[in-house]
């Protein structure tokens, strides 16, 4: 299958998921959350490197919130930390989207002694953790709080945010695909020494100077 056809199929599937999200019932979602159960134990593991990958990926909704709170400098491109890079035939490295910076010990840059220091402005991923929706279904990440008793009013608020996050992430991904015009990319173990870092997101393409 040609690259263009492949991307068009992915786009169609993402657009269908957005359309299908209209039929997700907030009430059913809240009931499912109550049945799964969740009570934050305040362990902060989700903000620390102890969970393995604690990357907080950001939507443009989150980035705008971070701007409002004066914390826009806390974001960075989601460059792969492993030893593989997405490269093009000219040796440039491509990456997709933004995440929160982390301290040298791996903790989120906003984790303080008393917990999250930007609590009212925290990203959707943090607001909804450990819940998320994938392909229309509620999923839960590993969390010590799973199974805890959760009042229905709290579950309703959570359901609302989980659904909002799902739709915003889908829309961000759709816009990223629409803007993305590059040729096929492939995995490379080493970027060229003078490579450009090219970031793609829902607002277009950005060539970054500092690698």
Binding site for ligand SF4 (CB under 6 A): 47, 56, 100, 108, 110-111, 116, 118, 122, 126
Residue-level length of the chain: 211
Nearer to ligand SF4 among residue 32 and residue 161 (C-beta): 161
Nearer to ligand SF4 among residue 90 and residue 113 (C-beta): 113
Contacts of 75 (CB under 8 A, 6+ apart): 58, 63, 66, 98, 99, 100, 101
Q: Min. distance of Cβ 111 from ligand SF4 in angstroms? A: 4
Nearer to ligand SF4 among residue 55 and residue 89 (C-beta): 55
Q: Min. distance of Cβ 19 from ligand SF4 in angstroms? A: 30
**Residue environment code for 122-159, b if the CB has 16+ CB neighbours within 10 A, otherwise e:** bbbbbbbbbbbbeeeebebeebebeeeebeeeebbebb
| Contact between residue 179 and residue 200 where contact means Cβ atoms under 8 Å apart | yes
Nearer to ligand SF4 among residue 118 and residue 197 (C-beta): 118
Nearer to ligand SF4 among residue 87 and residue 100 (C-beta): 100
Q: Min. distance of Cβ 112 from ligand SF4 in angstroms? A: 8
Q: Min. distance of Cβ 191 from ligand SF4 in angstroms? A: 29
* 3-class SS of residue 207: strand
CA distances in angstroms from 158 to 1, 46, 49, 57, 128, listed in the order given: 40, 17, 24, 19, 6
Q: Min. distance of Cβ 123 from ligand SF4 in angstroms? A: 6
């Amino acid at each position: 299958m040609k690259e263009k056809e492949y991307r068009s199929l992915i786009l169609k599937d993402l657009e269908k998921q957005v359309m299908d999200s209209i039929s997700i019932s907030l009430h059913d979602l809240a009931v499912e959350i109550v049945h799964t159960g969740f009570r934050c134990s305040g362990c902060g593991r989700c903000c620390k490197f102890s969970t393995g990958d604690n990357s907080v990926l950001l939507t443009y909704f989150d980035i705008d919130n971070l701007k409002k709170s004066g914390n826009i400098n806390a974001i960075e491109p989601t460059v792969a930390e492993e030893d593989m890079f997405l490269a093009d035939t000219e040796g440039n490295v491509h990456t997709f989207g933004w995440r929160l910076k982390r301290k040298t010990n791996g903790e989120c840059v906003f984790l303080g002694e008393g917990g999250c220091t930007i609590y009212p402005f925290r990203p959707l991923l943090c607001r909804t953790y450990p819940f998320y929706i994938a392909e229309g279904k509620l999923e839960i990440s590993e969390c010590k709080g799973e199974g805890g008793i959760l009042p229905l009013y709290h579950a309703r608020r959570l359901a609302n945010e989980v659904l909002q996050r799902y739709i915003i992430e889908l829309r961000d991904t759709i816009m990223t695909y629409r803007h993305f015009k590059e040729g096929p990319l492939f995995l490379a173990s080493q970027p060229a020494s003078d490579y450009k870092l090219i970031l793609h997101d829902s607002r277009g393409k950005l060539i970054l100077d500092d690698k």
